[in-house]
């Protein structure tokens, strides 16, 4: 047995302690395509991660990463995967090498089995990792060519907080053309959650580049899903949004 197995079992036990039938049913409502869950809320997961750190403060960042991967390899429940991602959040800014980005890609392709896991990993863990390594932000663009739809979704989600982001004493701006090129690659993707990621990245891009996003929609609306277009226009002024939706019918 691995020296890390006992930590994995402890986390599973903690999750099962907070599980109730009501929580299981509540969680499943958000996943119409199905999910294997123990029944733990976001607050439960946050508390379990906090207690794990408090009770295992002797563990090094390397130990924490090994435990994360051990949990991922043996996980039964979606919430176990979310805890696994969460326990390294506090370490990714100042620890590990740039090659951790390759592990993130592997996790997306092999352990992220629903939209919540993709978004949690991208918006929390990978976001914190990239904040101290902005030279890697554009290195995720090839994720859109993955055979795994969850990784393709992540290729957009990982950028949503970097359209404009204060990093240290400067402002980082993601090249808007990268956003549009990524959307071009995924524009006909048949996966529902990939389409939602296109709408999401265009929506946040429109805050800075409204005219460019509208032009993109006008040029591509014939091959875009209507739901993606509506999502992309959510932050556009109401009158303008109504006008564009009528125009693109």
pLDDT of residue 161: 98
pLDDT of residue 1: 54
Confidence of residue 245 (pLDDT cuts 50, 70, 90): confident
Average the pLDDT over 90-95 and give the result: 95
- What is the CA angle 123-221-201, rounded to 5? 10
Percent of the chain whose predicted confidence (pLDDT) is above 90: 91
Spatial contact of 240 and 247, defined as CB atoms under 8 Å apart: no
pLDDT of residue 146: 98
pLDDT digits (tens, 9 = 90+) for 176-202: 999 999 999 999 999 999 999 999 999
pLDDT of residue 67: 96
pLDDT of residue 170: 94
Which has more confidence, 43 or 2? 43
CA distance 81 to 114: 11
pLDDT digits (tens, 9 = 90+) for 142-177: 999 999 999 999 999 999 999 999 998 999 999 999
Please give the radius of gyration of the chain, using alpha carbons only, rounded to the nearest integer. 19
pTM: 0.94
Computed from CA positions of residues 53, 57, 59, 61, in that sequence, does the dihedral angle turn out positive or negative?
Answer: positive
pLDDT of residue 65: 97
Helices (H), 19-161: 21-28, 42-55, 61-74, 78-86, 100-110, 115-120, 127-131, 149-157
Spatial contact of 118 and 154, defined as CB atoms under 8 Å apart: yes
């Amino acid at each position: 047995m691995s020296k890390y197995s006992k930590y994995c079992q402890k986390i599973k036990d903690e999750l099962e302690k907070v599980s109730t039938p009501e929580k299981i049913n509540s969680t499943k409502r958000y996943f119409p395509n199905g999910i294997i869950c123990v029944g733990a809320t976001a607050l439960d997961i946050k508390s379990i991660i906090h207690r794990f750190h408090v009770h295992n403060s002797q563990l090094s960042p390397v130990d924490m990463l090994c435990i994360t991967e051990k949990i991922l390899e043996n996980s039964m429940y979606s919430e176990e995967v979310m805890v696994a991602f969460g326990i390294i959040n506090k370490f990714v800014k100042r620890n590990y090498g740039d090659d951790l980005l390759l592990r993130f890609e592997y996790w997306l392709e092999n352990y992220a089995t629903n939209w919540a896991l993709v978004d949690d990993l991208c918006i929390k863990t990978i976001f914190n990792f990239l904040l101290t390594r902005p030279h890697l932000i554009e290195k995720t663009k090839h994720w859109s060519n993955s055979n795994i739809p969850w990784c393709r979704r992540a290729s957009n989600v990982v950028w949503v907080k970097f359209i404009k982001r204060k990093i240290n004493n400067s402002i980082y701006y993601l090249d808007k053309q990268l956003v549009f090129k990524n959307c071009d690659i995924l524009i006909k993707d048949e996966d529902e959650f990939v389409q939602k990621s296109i709408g999401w990245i265009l929506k946040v891009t429109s805050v800075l580049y409204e005219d460019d996003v509208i032009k993109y929609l006008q040029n591509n609306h014939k091959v875009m899903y209507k739901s993606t277009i509506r999502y992309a226009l959510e932050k556009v002024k109401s009158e303008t949004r109504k006008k564009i939706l009528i125009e693109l019918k």
